[in-house]
Amino acid sequence: MTDATPITDSHCHLDFPQFESEVEALVSRAKQRGVHRMVTICTKLGKEPEVRALAETHPGVFYAAGIHPMSAHEQPVVTVERLEEIAGHPKMVGIGETGLDYHYTAETKPIQQESLRVHIEAARRTGLPLIIHARDADDDMARILGEEHRAGAYACVMHCFSSGRALAEAALELGFYLSISGIAAFPKSTELRAIFADAPLDRVLVETDAPYLAPPPNRGKRNEPAYVVDTAKVGAQIFGLSYADFARATEANFERLFSKAAEWRS
């Protein structure tokens, strides 16, 4: 049975080992539920050829590339020019994920911040949206995003948003987007749902972050793109909409932000 309204999983990781040899089946299951498009995220540039190949193989799969903040210290800081080069691929549609993560890697704050600013400049130059990962770094994240935006505008989505209200408001004030993940569907995430309820509907995306953070009824299991429908159903409840209306809204938002994916033709 296919859900009538098409929807996009704006952030997943199809190259991760949890999905080895299963991508064809994952894409098929997603399509059966109406998930006609997904963006798979490269978090280490050494794996960019592998992630790119997934996008080249599957018509509905696009990709983004960058250095995850938790890996920023493991190699020399990526250059803007390298990110620009990768962005020339017709199915490469976003810069990142990048950002700040002080939960596990607080000792690498300086290199994380340097890497983040490089990615922001690449987003400016390419016109592609920046994809931000933020954990336990709200103050520095808001400060750097604001400083850089004043130096030159760029587009951005706060992926898998689960930070505080102040960072949400700062991001929205800059014209950025917030992405709903399975975390918002967890029963105890009442404050997070309240933050989304106060956000403009035209600034919201939906994602899985698969293989992580599966929403109910699959919480605790491996996540996959098909489950974005379950998260979107919770998003619809947050905004007091039918699933179809919420899916249409997030589709319009995705195509506005990820315009390169919207314009792509095989």
- Do residues 12 and 209 touch, judged by C-beta distance below 8 A? yes
Q: Is the dihedral of CA 17, 217, 220, 251 positive or negative?
A: positive
Structural domains in the chain (count): 1
- What is the domain-level CATH number for residue 129? 3.20.20.140
Q: Is 41 left (phi over 0), alpha (psi -120 to 50) or beta?
A: beta
pLDDT tens-digit profile of 163-222? Answer: 999 999 999 999 999 999 999 999 999 999 999 999 999 999 999 999 999 999 999 999
Beta bridge partners of 65: 42, 95
pLDDT value at residue 1:
42
Residue 99 has pLDDT above 80, yes or no: yes
Q: Is the dihedral of CA 242, 246, 247, 249 positive or negative?
A: positive
pLDDT value at residue 30:
97
Binding residues: 11, 13, 97, 133, 159, 209
List Cα–Cα distances, 116 to 44, 75, 76, 126, 210, in angstroms. Answer: 14, 14, 13, 15, 23
Tell me the average pLDDT across 10-27: 96
Give the burial string for 239-249 (b: 16+ CB within 10 Å, else e): eeeebeebbeb
**What's the domain range around 94?**
7-263
pLDDT value at residue 179:
98
In angstroms, the CA 184 to CA 126 distance is 31
Q: Is residue 79 one of the residues assigned to a domain?
A: yes
Q: For residue 261, give both structure tokens.
A: 């994916």
In angstroms, the CA 253 to CA 206 distance is 10
Tokens 């620009």 sit at which residue?
Answer: 84
Which pTM does this prediction carry?
0.96
Task: Using a pLDDT cut of 90, give the percent of the chain over it.
Answer: 96
Q: Is residue 1 one of the residues assigned to a domain?
A: no
Binding residues for a divalent metal cation: 11, 13, 97, 133, 159, 209
pLDDT tens-digit profile of 110-137? Answer: 999 999 999 999 999 999 999 999 999 9
pLDDT tens-digit profile of 222-250? Answer: 999 999 999 999 999 999 999 999 999 99
